[in-house]
Amino acid sequence: QRGRGGFGGNDERENTLNQLLVEMDGFTSSTNVVVLAGTNRIDILDNALTRAGRFDRQIMVDRPDIRGRKEVFLVHMRNLNLGGETDQDDLAGRLAALTPGFVGADIANICNEAAIMAARDDKKQVELPDFEKAIDRVIGGLESHRLLDKQEKEIVAYHEAGHAVAGWNLEHADPLLKVTILPRTSGALGFAQYLPKEVSLRTEEQMMDIVCMALAGRAAEEVKFGRVTTGASDDLRRVTDMIYQMIKIYGMNERVGQLAFPKQDNGGFPDERPYSEKTAQLMDEEAKRMVDEAYQRTLGLVREKVDQVEALAQMLLKKETISHDDIVDAIGPRPHGGNEVYDQFVDTMRNKTAEPAPSA
């Protein structure tokens, strides 16, 4: 994009753009040449590129949904030895449910990592546990060999148990599949894996449940130990982003009103905010109020379900990684149920676990 606002520009970039426009204008309607281009930042392209007669037809390629991810998994599984008895369609469906938001490159990486892990264990076939380990690696990074001291491990266990219990009891939170306190090379001392419902629309109530679930780790630390640690920094960042989106983009705040101020790309120049300092101060005050209220609500939930937090934390300290069925055994079934994909996934996994081993 060419320089704006009289601040000058990048000569090399502008020369490249101008030459591209000259070359495209050199084609005639009888040349039979179609020019295709791809970008993930169409918002910063120069208007001269996207006007009629140039790149005027846009095709949006979005992230694949669960059906699309299943098809992508089937493509990348063709070159893997899964064993003759493996139902590839069923396996691809379960893996697609585990990977919301993943794109084709992520799925290719998972299949490659699963094959490497199978080879590392000297196995001739790639099995479901190999894919699950590969997904864990892509989401949380490599499993670290760092040893946590007893106090750190206990804090992480209660932190993750807080997330798990909140997600289990809040109606609109994403259903939990697995939680671990094994450190990762990414710096995370533990993480939980959820199966979010892939929806395009969320209500204010749904978003606040997600905020409360993110705050529950810190709340569990405060309830159990009477103090908090730095372990919730990423949770707080996500909460802050979501709350400001509710206020500035989705119009979900009564005092700010039905207004939307999406972030604009100004090419590196200072932000030109379409609202006053008074409105900015109001947004900050409302963001703090909403987070404080959500945290108090979360503290109340953790105190009410403290026995569940204790049970899951002790189970994590003992097993380090627990699954959906472990949580059901410890605190009972999820009171609000799950979504259709989640229920189908859990039933399938339970049926696979219950299948008798083949006789010798």
Buried b (16+ CB within 10 A) or exposed e, 195-218: bebeeeebeeebbbbbbbbbbbbb
pLDDT for residue 33: 76
The number of beta carbons lying within 10 Å of the beta carbon of residue 145 is 7
pTM over cut 0.95: no
- Lookup: tokens for 27: 């084609």
- Lookup: tokens for 285: 């005050």
Give CA separation, 280 vs 152, 244, 287, 312, in Å: 39, 11, 11, 42
pLDDT for residue 200: 73
CA 12-18-22 angle, 5° bins? 140
pLDDT for residue 39: 87
Which of 245, 251, 244 has the alpha carbon at shortest distance from 287?
244
CA 259-263-265 angle, 5° bins? 140
CA 275-279-284 angle, 5° bins? 120
- The four Cα atoms 248, 253, 255, 260 give a dihedral, to 10 degrees, of 30
Domain limits, CATH 1.10.8.60, in the chain: 66-140
Which of 338, 342, 332, 339 has the alpha carbon at shortest distance from 312?
332
Q: What is the pLDDT along the chain (360 residues), one digit of tens a residue?
A: 555 544 555 678 788 888 888 877 766 666 677 788 888 888 788 888 888 878 888 888 888 888 899 999 999 999 898 877 778 888 898 888 888 889 999 999 999 999 999 999 999 899 988 998 898 888 777 777 677 788 999 999 999 999 999 999 998 888 788 888 887 766 677 777 777 776 778 999 999 999 999 999 999 999 999 999 998 898 999 999 999 999 999 999 999 999 999 876 555 555 667 888 999 999 999 999 999 999 999 999 999 999 999 999 999 999 988 888 888 889 988 887 655 655 655 565 555 554 544 443
CATH code, residues 66-140? 1.10.8.60
End-to-end CA distance of the chain: 68
Average pLDDT across the chain, whole number = 84
Catalytic residues: 160
Domain limits, CATH 1.20.58.760, in the chain: 150-351
Sign of CA dihedral 41, 47, 48, 51: positive
- Lookup: tokens for 308: 């569940």
pLDDT tens, position by position, 167-197: 999 988 887 888 888 877 666 777 777 777 7
The number of beta carbons lying within 10 Å of the beta carbon of residue 129 is 13
Which of 33, 8, 314 has the alpha carbon at shortest distance from 161?
314
Given CATH 1.20.58.760, say whether it is the number of domain 150-351: yes
Angstrom distance (rounded) from CA 157 to CA 229: 13
Pairing of strands 321-323, 191-194: unpaired
Strand order, beta sheet including 321-323: 191-194, 176-180, 321-323
Residues 206, 172: contact at Cβ < 8 Å?
Answer: yes
Residues 131, 114: contact at Cβ < 8 Å?
Answer: yes
